[in-house]
Amino acid sequence: MTIYCEKDYEAMSRRAAGIIGAQIILKKDSVLGLATGSSPIGTYEELIRRYQAGELDFSGVTSVNLDEYRGLSGDNDQSYRYFMDTHLFDHVNIDKSRTFVPDGLGEDPDRTCAMYDDIISREGPVDLQLLGMGYNGHIGFNEPAEYFEKKVHCVDLTESTIEANKRFFEKAEDVPRQAYTMGIGNIMQAKKVLVIVSGEGKADIVAEAFTGPVTPHVPASILQFHKDVTLVGDEAALSKLMATLSR
Ligand code: F6R
């Protein structure tokens, strides 16, 4: 694993954008696995800045997003499709028809999951998968569990995730209770994985995920078995990991 310990969120975002940008420059038709949440917002802003400066060309890029709330349409401002459009896709020259997010309005969950699995197989393998990490070690919406789910699936969100995500909604009751997510198997099939973490609140789980036992109780711990992981974090989020590694 390669680790970049950056001073703060802005530096983390610049580093992550540099890695994603290099991927696009080296392979114009890259397939990017993308994430939502607060961690990648600065990275997407930096990618937009580089695109506007003429340094990046997204015209050949395909994207597959990790997850989507069940029950939200793409034009709901809390949906992950809306997030991706407003934070990245609307500001770069990516072909929108080549940007994929699970269908939040899919009526039949099994069919919705199978269709998204087919899209990932058809468009993949993902060249570079961007991941944030939840406070409980979740990646995508793969919450702590008894086993690793391989494929796209529909999950019941945990109270801790609902709690963490309610800041984006008017009230906690508005947070959807279910979501579609890539499985751990889908994520592990990416050729490269880029994890971004910031803030002191993530320090414990980051250290646990990368130095503790590999267990579905800490879903991100499976990344210890991936052969090409880059972790980019700010000093606060990486403090405990760095201390453990230097012992
Ligand atoms: C988002 C996603 C989630 C987030 C995680 C961290 O698409 O899959 O796993 O990456 O919840 O969220 P933030 O970045 O808001 O701390």
39 lines ligand 1 (CB under 6 A): yes
What is d(CA 93, CA 58) in angstroms, rounded to the nearest whole number? 5
**pTM score:** 0.97
Pairing of β 229-234 and β 192-197: parallel
pLDDT value of position 96? 98
- To the nearest whole number, what is the mean pLDDT of the chain? 96
Query: What residue type is assigned to position 227 of the chain?
Result: K
Half-sphere exposure in the Cβ direction for 15 (13 Å, CA): 22
**pLDDT tens sequence across 211-245:** 999 999 999 999 999 999 999 999 999 999 999 99
| pLDDT value, residue 158 | 82
**Burial profile 204-237: b = 16 or more Cβ within 10 angstroms, e = fewer:** ebbbbbbeeeebbebbbbbbeebeebbbbbbbbb
Q: What is the pLDDT of residue 244?
A: 95
* Residue whose CB lies within 8 A of the most ligand 1 atoms, among 12, 13, 39, for a mutation test: 39
Q: Which atom of ligand 1 is nearest to the CA of 39?
A: 14
Which protein residue has the closest C-alpha to ligand 1 atom 8? 140
Write out pLDDT tens, residues 19-54.
999 999 999 999 999 999 999 999 999 999 999 999
Percent of the chain at pLDDT > 90 equals: 91
Distance CA 55, CA 18 (A): 11
Q: Would the pLDDT of 157 be above 90? A: no
Band of residue 5 on the pLDDT scale cut at 50, 70, 90: very high
> How high is the pLDDT of residue 171?
83
* Assigned token pair, 99: 């940007």
**Among 34, 36, 126, residue to substitute to test ligand 1 (most atoms within 8 Å of Cβ):** 36
Q: For 124-201, where are the alpha helices, taking DSSP H only?
A: 159-165, 184-188
